[in-house]
């Protein structure tokens, strides 16, 4: 099954948080995982915040970034979909960042998986051409 994953899911692959186990299930060979190139900046920013709060050492954050390069995730450039991102952000009243993931899922004609409850709840009843799935709903 092809899926776009957002940063709220990816972070849970590396940091113990609520829904980490569910996010980890996505690392099965049953899934083809995709994300926009924005994922690097979002993961890096979460690690930077944790480091600034002294929740992670600089070495641990660096190791996570290095490990992430080896994860089974196909990364797509955001540039070609910016018009779609803008349209979705305006139509759905969602952030441009969130809309990058939505536009990629729409373009690839597959669901978007998130662990962001505010984002999920805002979109679960919308009429998107592609579904937004809560991370706990994914089963192998």
Where does the pLDDT of residue 20 fall: very low under 50, low under 70, confident under 90, or very high at 90 and above?
very high
Mean pLDDT, range 77-81, rounded to an integer? 96
Where does the pLDDT of residue 126 fall: very low under 50, low under 70, confident under 90, or very high at 90 and above?
confident
Mean pLDDT, range 90-114, rounded to an integer? 95
Per-residue pLDDT tens for 22-43? 999 999 999 999 999 999 999 9
Domain carrying residue 80: 2-37+73-137
Predicted pLDDT at 140: 67
Tell me the percentage of the chain whose pLDDT exceeds 90: 91
Q: Is residue 109 part of a domain?
A: yes
Rg (CA), the chain: 15
Q: Which residues partner with 3 through β-bridges? A: 33
Q: Is residue 59 part of a domain?
A: no
Helix, strand, coil abundance in the chain, percent, nearest 5: 55, 15, 30
Measured from the Cβ of residue 41, the count of other Cβ atoms closer than 10 Å reads 12
Instruction: Of 73-87, 89-103, 118-132, give the lowest mean pLDDT range.
Output: 118-132
Q: Is residue 132 part of a domain?
A: yes
Beta-sheet strands, E only, within 37-100: 73-76
Number of structural domains, the chain?
1
Helix 7-14 vs helix 38-52: crossing angle, to nearest 10: 50
Where does the pLDDT of residue 130 fall: very low under 50, low under 70, confident under 90, or very high at 90 and above?
confident
To the nearest 10°, the Cα dihedral for 123, 124, 126, 129?
100
Q: Is residue 68 part of a domain?
A: no
The CATH number assigned to the domain holding 132 equals: 3.40.50.1010
């Amino acid at each position: 099954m092809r899926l776009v994953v957002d940063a709220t899911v990816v972070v849970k692959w590396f940091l113990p948080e609520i829904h980490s186990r569910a996010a980890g299930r996505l690392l099965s060979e049953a899934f083809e995982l995709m994300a926009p190139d924005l994922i690097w900046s979002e993961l890096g920013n979460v690690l930077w915040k944790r480091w600034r709060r002294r929740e992670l050492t600089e070495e641990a954050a660096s190791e996570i970034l290095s490990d992430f390069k080896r994860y089974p995730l196909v990364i797509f450039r955001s540039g070609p979909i910016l018009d779609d991102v803008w349209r979705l952000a305006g139509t759905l009243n969602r952030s441009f960042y969130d809309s990058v993931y939505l536009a990629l899922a729409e373009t690839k004609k597959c669901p978007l998986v998130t662990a962001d409850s505010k984002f999920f709840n805002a979109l679960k009843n919308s009429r998107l051409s592609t579904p937004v799935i809560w991370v706990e709903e994914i089963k192998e």
